[in-house]
Chain A
Amino acid sequence: MFQSGFVKLLRDGKGFEGTLIAAAVLYLVVFAAFPLVYTVVMSFQEVDMFTLGTLVRPFAGLENYTDLFHRPEFTPIVWNTVIFVTLSIAFQLVIGFGLALFFQQDFPGSTYVRGLFLAGWILPALVVGAVWRWIFAGDFGVLNYALQSLGLIDGQIYWLSNPAYALYSVIIANIWLGVPFNMILLSVGLAGIPGDVYEAAEMDGANAFQRFLTITLPMMGPTLGAVIALGVIFTLQQFDLVAALTQGGPANASNVAQYWSWQMSFQTYEISGGATVATMMIALVIVVAVIYVRSVQREHTF
């Protein structure tokens, strides 16, 4: 009797709604909110191997942060991260937009070929990393072979172990990985611009380039904002590719913040240092997320 009453409470009306909410909130608390808050808390604590098992640890104030800022690798890694994010997004966006515009043209098979582009995106980043490792390989890599055959370079370039190239090699692989995603989102945006608006512009005397500048670009603004914001978030999460290609090396030449945070937390057990880097990245991502949400809202204003 009690049992069926309880089941009924869960199944009907307010009880059912409450159950759904509780399930979602429970999931978020356990798997998102707690780790997030715990990371932020740890960035203000002294954490070492002996206090790992407890939640109550000595308060460290901003010591973890000042300590981090004074590390010699801090500035290069931040700079690497900026280059990594900026170049990745710039090229992903330009190439993705170009492809989206290309496949927007009406030619036989355009939708199928566009679909095939997604194949790259659904590969795990670790697999992509392994493939690019072979492409970039100094002695037998296909990239060196191609460049040598074209007569562009004489010797071999050690893409992944030369500090001058390592970061850019990771960026190239990341651009390749991110282009299909950008293309698909931008294609959706392009498809949302009514055809008769272009026709009206054509009647009004706009050539193809003017139509792009005065119709396509402004009407794509919200979509571009959303794609850039998502791109920043995804690029700041791009851990697998770094792990698969260079592990941040040589000598931090290709190290980026997200990988550095992992190294400190799980390789050198400077857990508070790792948490501090992570906390700063959380702050940055929140800012970007706000921009993203605003962009998405603006998408509906046209």
Chain B
Amino acid sequence: MNQIEIQHLNKNYGALQVLHDISLDIPVGAFVALVGPSGCGKSTLLRTIAGLETITSGTIKVAGEVVNDKAPRERDLAMVFQSYALYPHMTVEQNMSYSLRLRRRPKAEIDERVGEAARILGLEKLLKRRPKQLSGGQRQRVAMGRAIVRKPKVFLFDEPLSNLDAALRVQMRSEIRKLHKNLGATSVYVTHDQIEAMTMADLIVVLHDGRIEQIGRPLDLYRRPANRFVAGFIGSPAMNFVPAEVTADGLAVAIGAGALLRIPRAQEPGRKVLAGLRPEHLRLDGSGEQLSGVAEIVEGTGSMTFIEARVGDELLNIAHAGTFEIEAGAPLTLGIASEDIYLFDPDTGRAL
């Protein structure tokens, strides 16, 4: 069963179309990440689900019911805002109990639910404080608490971690994940950070220029990107793209520098393609399909070594787990497994 169903949704601001024919089913209890670069329409899509933005055409169903014309407050969705949007004149307790007080729930029930949310989020000692007296991470928790006490059908998260520092972000990432596991409510999570999406979501929706590029489980997107955009967006550091040409027998590609790489599936002979090589798939021991180049920049972080190498006219990024000692300017033989070579149509970007 699907908690949210979106069919052929279009959204225009005047003449500008920001969402194009979005269709998306979100199963009950799923954690779905909407991910894409700035301006791709992911926040707008979330806000149309919330009801904070109207839609131009299409339908949005929540729990099987069309909610197109329903006000946000009638949709029973809780939202965590990027800015947290806490009520500055209310204490933490009042912030969290606000929705229950509006629904005129009995005092005992309000206290119990606020108390429970505060306990889950470790906010018990802060209940009498105002948002201004809290740190960024604490405010983030209050915003979460405000959503939790409502026990809604769906949680909507609009880049909730982007205002936190790196360490706190990693911590909150796993807390939100745990919370989702415990509460089991459907969650839609907007982020521009593909690592957040990869680590948290059951299902990732990659958006680009208002269109869905691909929907899939995190590792499926990594292993089988549908197109060049998804391939470049998912994975860090980003995939290298190198112009190449399929050989006469259709079984290999020739890369500018004269290197021949065997490819996993036969392609049309002589066809121009873009070869996609993930930095972490390029091996420094030269095993597999070989490429020779010159190391240009070497950055060691201890756990990882990042090398920028020149192969023919192309610069390739290599991510090597562990340390690797090499001088800039030294020659290098790179290897890659044949099945790790991705091919894309250079015009449409479609995966081949």
Q: Do A and B bind each other?
A: yes
In this complex, what residue of B is CB-closest to A196? B85
A290 to B5 Cα, complex, angstroms: 58
User: With an 8 A cutoff between CB atoms, is B29 at the interface?
Assistant: no
Nearest chain A CB to B208 CB, angstrom units: 26
A196-B81, A199-B52, A199-B81 known; A204 vs B89 contact (CB < 8 Å): no
User: With an 8 A cutoff between CB atoms, is A13 at the interface?
Assistant: no
Please tell me which one of the listed residues B73, B87, B150 contacts residue A202 in the complex, with CB atoms under 8 A apart: B73
A138 to B87 Cα, complex, angstroms: 53
Contact across chains for A204 and B73 when beta carbons are under 8 A apart: yes
Contact across chains for A202 and B71 when beta carbons are under 8 A apart: yes
A210-B102, A301-B132 known; A203 vs B89 contact (CB < 8 Å): no
A213 to B89 Cα, complex, angstroms: 13
Contact across chains for B150 and A204 when beta carbons are under 8 A apart: yes
A203-B72, A204-B99 known; A197 vs B79 contact (CB < 8 Å): no
Contact across chains for B83 and A205 when beta carbons are under 8 A apart: no
Q: Which residues on the B side are within 8 Å of A199 (C-beta)?
A: 52, 72, 79, 81, 85
User: With an 8 A cutoff between CB atoms, is A282 at the interface?
Assistant: no
User: With an 8 A cutoff between CB atoms, is B106 at the interface?
Assistant: no
In this complex, what residue of B is CB-closest to A210? B102
Q: Which residues on the A side are within 8 Å of B89 (C-beta)?
A: 218-219, 221, 302
**Residue of A196, A204, A207, A302 with most partner-chain B CB within 10 A:** A204
Q: Which residues on the A side are within 8 Å of B14 (C-beta)?
A: none
A210 to B98 Cα, complex, angstroms: 11
A203-B73, A204-B150 known; A219 vs B85 contact (CB < 8 Å): no
The majority secondary structure among interface residues of chain A is helix
Residue pairs across A and B with CB atoms within 8 Å: the count is: 61
Q: 8 Å CB contacts to A: which residues of B13-37?
A: none
Q: Which residues on the B side are within 8 Å of A219 (C-beta)?
A: 88-89
Q: Which residues on the A side are within 8 Å of B88 (C-beta)?
A: 197, 219, 302
Q: 8 Å CB contacts to A: which residues of B59-81?
A: 71-73, 77-79, 81
Binary B-proximity of A133-154 (CB < 8 A = 1, otherwise 0): 0000000000000000000000
Contact across chains for B98 and A201 when beta carbons are under 8 A apart: yes
Q: 8 Å CB contacts to B: which residues of A285-302?
A: 301-302
User: With an 8 A cutoff between CB atoms, is B103 at the interface?
Assistant: yes
Contact across chains for B146 and A202 when beta carbons are under 8 A apart: no
Q: Which residues on the A side are within 8 Å of B50 (C-beta)?
A: 203
User: With an 8 A cutoff between CB atoms, is A281 at the interface?
Assistant: no
In this complex, what residue of A is CB-closest to B81? A196
User: With an 8 A cutoff between CB atoms, is A172 at the interface?
Assistant: no
Binary B-proximity of A172-211 (CB < 8 A = 1, otherwise 0): 0000000000000000000000101101111111110010
Contact across chains for B132 and A205 when beta carbons are under 8 A apart: no
A207 to B88 Cα, complex, angstroms: 19
Binary B-proximity of A206-230 (CB < 8 A = 1, otherwise 0): 1100100011001101000000000
Contact across chains for B81 and A200 when beta carbons are under 8 A apart: yes
Nearest chain A CB to B102 CB, angstrom units: 5
Contact across chains for B87 and A200 when beta carbons are under 8 A apart: yes
The number of chain B residues with a CB under 8 A from chain A is 22
Q: Which residues on the A side are within 8 Å of B71 (C-beta)?
A: 202
Nearest chain A CB to B117 CB, angstrom units: 14
Contact across chains for B79 and A215 when beta carbons are under 8 A apart: no
Q: Which residues on the A side are within 8 Å of B103 (C-beta)?
A: 205
Q: Which residues on the B side are within 8 Å of A203 (C-beta)?
A: 50, 52, 72-73, 77-79
Q: Which residues on the B side are within 8 Å of A200 (C-beta)?
A: 79, 81, 85-87, 146
Q: 8 Å CB contacts to A: which residues of B90-127?
A: 98-99, 102-103
Nearest chain A CB to B311 CB, angstrom units: 48
Nearest chain A CB to B128 CB, angstrom units: 16
A207-B73, A210-B102 known; A201 vs B78 contact (CB < 8 Å): no
A281 to B85 Cα, complex, angstroms: 44
Q: Which residues on the B side are within 8 Å of A302 (C-beta)?
A: 88-89, 132
Q: Which residues on the B side are within 8 Å of A197 (C-beta)?
A: 85-88
Contact across chains for A202 and B52 when beta carbons are under 8 A apart: yes
Contact across chains for B52 and A204 when beta carbons are under 8 A apart: no
Q: 8 Å CB contacts to A: which residues of B143-191?
A: 146, 150
Q: Which residues on the A side are within 8 Å of B79 (C-beta)?
A: 199-200, 203
Please tell me which one of the listed residues B85, B86, B98 contacts residue A214 in the complex, with CB atoms under 8 A apart: B98
Q: Which residues on the B side are within 8 Å of A221 (C-beta)?
A: 89
Contact across chains for B99 and A205 when beta carbons are under 8 A apart: yes
A203 to B51 Cα, complex, angstroms: 9
Contact across chains for A204 and B98 when beta carbons are under 8 A apart: yes
A5 to B52 Cα, complex, angstroms: 67
In this complex, what residue of B is CB-closest to A200? B85
**Residue of A200, A201, A221, A301 with most partner-chain B CB within 10 A:** A200
Q: Which residues on the B side are within 8 Å of A205 (C-beta)?
A: 73, 99, 102-103
A218 to B72 Cα, complex, angstroms: 23
Q: Which residues on the B side are within 8 Å of A301 (C-beta)?
A: 132
Nearest chain A CB to B189 CB, angstrom units: 16
A201 to B98 Cα, complex, angstroms: 8
Q: Which residues on the A side are within 8 Å of B150 (C-beta)?
A: 204
A277 to B334 Cα, complex, angstroms: 95
A66 to B333 Cα, complex, angstroms: 106
Please tell me which one of the listed residues A196, A204, A215 contacts residue B83 in the complex, with CB atoms under 8 A apart: A196
Nearest chain B CB to A194 CB, angstrom units: 7
Binary B-proximity of A230-267 (CB < 8 A = 1, otherwise 0): 00000000000000000000000000000000000000
Please tell me which one of the listed residues B77, B83, B87, B132 contacts residue A201 in the complex, with CB atoms under 8 A apart: B87
Given contacts A196-B83, A196-B85, A205-B73, 4 further A-B contacts (CB under 8 A): A202-B72, A203-B72, A204-B102, A210-B102
Q: Can you name 12 A-B residue pairings with CB atoms under 8 Å?
A: A199-B85, A200-B86, A201-B87, A201-B98, A202-B52, A203-B50, A203-B52, A203-B72, A203-B73, A205-B102, A206-B73, A214-B98
Binding site for B on A (CB under 8 A): 194, 196-197, 199-207, 210, 214-215, 218-219, 221, 301-302
Closest 4 CB pairs of A and B: A204-B99, A196-B85, A200-B85, A302-B88
